[in-house]
Structure 1
Amino acid sequence: MSVRKQLRTALCGLALTGIVVTAAQGPAAATPVVEVAAKASSVSAATDAAARSLARSLADSAWRAELRRAVAGGKETGLKALADKSRTGAAASLAVDVAAADRSVLAAKGLDRDTGGLLTVTLTGATDSRRAPLVAVDASDDEATTITAYDASGRSHALDASRTPDMPVYVIGIDGEGAVEAGLKVLERELAAAGVTTTSTPATAPGTGTSASAASTSASASASADTGYWTSRITSVRLNDDKEPWIKGDAEIFSIVSGFGLDGKVRVDTVTHPYLNDEGTTYYPNQILVNWSQYKYNLADVVMMEDDGDTNYSALAKAIATALLTIADLGAYIPLVDPVIDALPSSFWTDDPDFVDAWYTLARETTGTRDGAAGNGRFTLDRYWVSAL
């Protein structure tokens, strides 16, 4: 059984057996589950169409050489930008196809039309080989055993997902960092429209020598902005290695922090982790996870997720809002992990599970190492005081 399947089994077991409960959790258990149509097929169809078009364009030797130079060294590059800059006929035709595919991807992910192109291309495999290159798609299924790639004649080839190919392979993917940034804006906007208070937290903490943006951003909404506020800060974080195939790029991780706001209503804060690229690696971000001045109780919950390409942020926002708005403050803290997990569209649990791990009832006083409920993630936290400017 893969690590990802173990995660699903563990969290589903927690939800079903009620291992983590409180006396006041009855209303949360009754939260309705909102089913949203899966969008993975739309994303896959769009990226596959772009891969076929790019493969056909490689029959043009001038464009093929130009593309190879542009992505040398494994650099992820916007595909439409490359095609638009080229003066070759093959690239001009490709640009039209890529623009259509980009529009389909934005629609499938519930992102604004003005987000810009998300399709990218990288060069991997035996890049120094003289063999004709192939074009493949960055598959969203982490458990795939084969990868489909196309040649310039339109023929498909099955590549072993566990072994780096012995020919150059151009990989069509999605700009995950750009997608998460745009997606969380949609998530926050739609949650707010539905009546759920929400703010986003930057990736670096004040006082680390890297950025003071977290302090200024949070202080603007802080009830104690005149003096400062306590936060929980991630001093280290690690995810277990699930042995992703060679075609997969960096992970795009974000967290949904939930609790009760000062008004007694459920609030959701989003935290991006752009540095958290590789599983099996420990990172030391000094990143603020929770701003306690925005919460009524000294407890909050965290659900960590990954954008594997098919995440529909509009659908996710609607599902979470529908679930959380049914939960009332009864004078005692109610863990919100289960309602958030229950609200996830069914597509998040098939082939491409975007769920990573969850942390129940983190307290303002929590310090030291905390493992996630599914055993996949590990935070080390400390208390950090942010002084007012």
Structure 2
Amino acid sequence: MTASTPLRTTLIGVALAATALIPLQGTAFAGQNDRADSATAPVSSVAGIEDATARSLARSLADPAWERQVREAALAADSVDLRALTSGSTTSAGKRIAPQVAAADRGVGAAKGLGGRVGSLLRVGLADASMKASLAGGAAPLVAAAPSDDDASALTAYDSEGVAHELSLDSVPDRPVYVVDVDGAKAVTEGLKVVNETLEAKGLDVPAPAARLNAAAPTATAGIDTTLINSVRISDVKEPWIKGDAEIFTLVTGFGKDGKPRVDTVEMPYLNKAATTYYPNQVLVNWSNYKYDMADAVMMEDDGDTNYQALAKAIVTVLLTITDQGVYIPLADALLDAIPASWWTDDPDYVDSWYTLAKATKGTRNGAAANGWINVSPYHVPAL
């Protein structure tokens, strides 16, 4: 993976396309379609689950009543909870597919290391808002899974007969396309809880007691020192498709007050598009948690297949081998080295990183991977 790899295309605003819809060989999919309708069919990855669900959902749309219900839901909102839509349906096809969707949701939760704690994750919606007119006009929709490979030039979508069609990713097609994808924002929120719990269990993110932090500080200056993100931008990577929303989070690393390496997680739900400058005024580093006046920040993205349990275990395994030598040691490289090799293929889990941030750091800092920049400033949060 290189710094020029784009942010992953997600559910809303995905650019799908082709002026022509090219059927793939039907014989290769006939048996797969039958197996995909089984609620217990084993699937090994989030991408596989999404594709099997998209294929089955497409076939279920042969039921006019159910097709109308899905159409109305897609026209009313950008995306909808697929599990809620199927479980609440009174149509025969909706009822029939509901167990498979529920099983698929559980599979996604397991594949992402979230178990059953997160509830429903799968969503469905139109790939592009421009498709609403043709859908409202009665055009028969296709169903596709969100693309997981940013280097792909085409996407597979299915019709109500289970026939696969190859769609070019160069422009938006005239025919409406439903996209099945994971609720990335929800996955990041729950996933970072898993990471935090794992880190806390190993003593790698325990905050310093407030009383100790301010014991030597004058009353007038009691509080905490932080680094604030004034603005942030991820580069435009000039790929041939229109990129949709990304789900970004940042891992801040350094040595805690107890001398152990620590990681603090920072959600960044607003930072969802490339080539866009955001002004969050968000706290990036809480210096009260750190021993040294230095910290590193590693920005990551949930690419759909991100497994948070695996991420947390990998981080813990590496950081527990590092000891405080009495001087600041950059931990960003150790954190990046801990990430499983599979994370560096196809999708850009790693976005960029910033080394040696200090309390006094201010102004614009370019990322080490040259894929973005942040503008930061010191900010003191006074005690109440």
Q: CA deviation at 1:143?
A: 1.5
Aligned 8 A contact 1:138 1:248 in 2? no
Q: CA deviation at 1:258?
A: 0.4
Q: CA deviation at 1:73?
A: 5.8
Q: CA deviation at 1:221?
A: 9.2
Q: Given the superposition, is the C-alpha separation of residues 107 and 53 from structure 1 closer, same or farther in structure 2, using an over 3 Å criterion?
A: same
Q: CA deviation at 1:83?
A: 1.2
Matched, 1:106 2:109: yes
Separation in structure 2 between the aligned mates of residue 379 and residue 368 of structure 1, nearest angstrom: 8
Q: Given the superposition, is the C-alpha separation of residues 243 and 90 from structure 1 closer, same or farther in structure 2, using an over 3 Å criterion?
A: farther
| Residue pairs, 1:223-372, within 5 angstroms | 223-224=213-214, 227-243=222-238, 249-372=244-367
> Secondary structure at the residue paired with 1:385?
strand
Matched, 1:153 2:161: yes
Separation in structure 1 between the aligned mates of residue 162 and residue 309 of structure 2, nearest angstrom: 35
Larger Rg: 2
Q: Given the superposition, is the C-alpha separation of residues 304 and 144 from structure 1 closer, same or farther in structure 2, using an over 3 Å criterion?
A: same
Choose 188-197 or 329-338, whichever is displaced more.
188-197
Alignment partner, residue 26 of structure 2: none
Alignment partner, residue 33 of structure 2: none
Aligned 8 A contact 1:229 1:386 in 2? yes
Q: Given the superposition, is the C-alpha separation of residues 90 and 249 from structure 1 closer, same or farther in structure 2, using an over 3 Å criterion?
A: farther
Return the TM-score normalized by structure 2.
0.83
Choose 242-251 or 49-58, whichever is displaced more.
242-251
Matched, 1:97 2:105: no
Choose 219-228 or 342-351, whichever is displaced more.
219-228
Separation in structure 2 between the aligned mates of residue 48 and residue 348 of structure 1, nearest angstrom: 20
Matched, 1:195 2:203: yes
- Which of 175, 179, 198 aligns to 1:171? It is 179
Q: CA deviation at 1:6?
A: 9.7
Matched, 1:185 2:193: yes
Per-residue Cα deviation, 1:322-349 (whole angstroms, up to 9, x for no partner): 1111111111100011101101111110
Alignment partner, residue 141 of structure 2: 133
> Secondary structure at the residue paired with 2:45?
helix
Separation in structure 2 between the aligned mates of residue 65 and residue 87 of structure 1, nearest angstrom: 12
Q: Which runs of 4+ in 1 moved over 6 A?
A: 218-222
Q: CA deviation at 1:4?
A: 3.5
Letter in 1 for 2:344: W
> Secondary structure at the residue paired with 1:149?
strand
CA RMSD of aligned residues (A): 2.3
> Secondary structure at the residue paired with 1:128?
helix
Choose 276-285 or 221-230, whichever is displaced more.
221-230
Separation in structure 1 between the aligned mates of residue 349 and residue 99 of structure 2, nearest angstrom: 31
Q: CA deviation at 1:5?
A: 4.5
Separation in structure 2 between the aligned mates of residue 82 and residue 73 of structure 1, nearest angstrom: 13
Separation in structure 1 between the aligned mates of residue 4 and residue 210 of structure 2, nearest angstrom: 38
Separation in structure 1 between the aligned mates of residue 6 and residue 120 of structure 2, nearest angstrom: 35
Separation in structure 2 between the aligned mates of residue 247 and residue 374 of structure 1, nearest angstrom: 22
> Secondary structure at the residue paired with 1:54?
helix
> Secondary structure at the residue paired with 1:135?
strand
Aligned 8 A contact 1:222 1:293 in 2? no
Aligned 8 A contact 1:74 1:123 in 2? no
Separation in structure 2 between the aligned mates of residue 198 and residue 137 of structure 1, nearest angstrom: 40
| Residue pairs, 1:199-214, within 5 angstroms | none
> Secondary structure at the residue paired with 2:264?
strand
Per-residue Cα deviation, 1:200-231 (whole angstroms, up to 9, x for no partner): xxxxxxxxxxxxxxxxxx99698239720110
Return the TM-score normalized by structure 1.
0.82
Aligned 8 A contact 1:164 1:246 in 2? no
| Residue pairs, 1:211-222, within 5 angstroms | none
Alignment partner, residue 46 of structure 2: 43
Alignment partner, residue 57 of structure 2: 54
Aligned length: 339
Q: Given the superposition, is the C-alpha separation of residues 3 and 41 from structure 1 closer, same or farther in structure 2, using an over 3 Å criterion?
A: farther
Aligned 8 A contact 2:233 2:372 in 1? yes
Letter in 2 for 1:281: T
Aligned 8 A contact 2:227 2:376 in 1? yes
Letter in 2 for 1:175: D
> Secondary structure at the residue paired with 1:278?
coil
Q: Given the superposition, is the C-alpha separation of residues 111 and 247 from structure 1 closer, same or farther in structure 2, using an over 3 Å criterion?
A: farther
Q: Given the superposition, is the C-alpha separation of residues 386 and 222 from structure 1 closer, same or farther in structure 2, using an over 3 Å criterion?
A: farther
> Secondary structure at the residue paired with 2:186?
helix
Q: Is there any run of 5+ residues in structure 2 with no aligned partner, and where?
A: 8-42
Q: Is there any run of 5+ residues in structure 1 with no aligned partner, and where?
A: 8-39, 200-217
Identity %: 57
> Secondary structure at the residue paired with 2:213?
coil
Alignment partner, residue 120 of structure 1: 123
Separation in structure 1 between the aligned mates of residue 212 and residue 317 of structure 2, nearest angstrom: 26
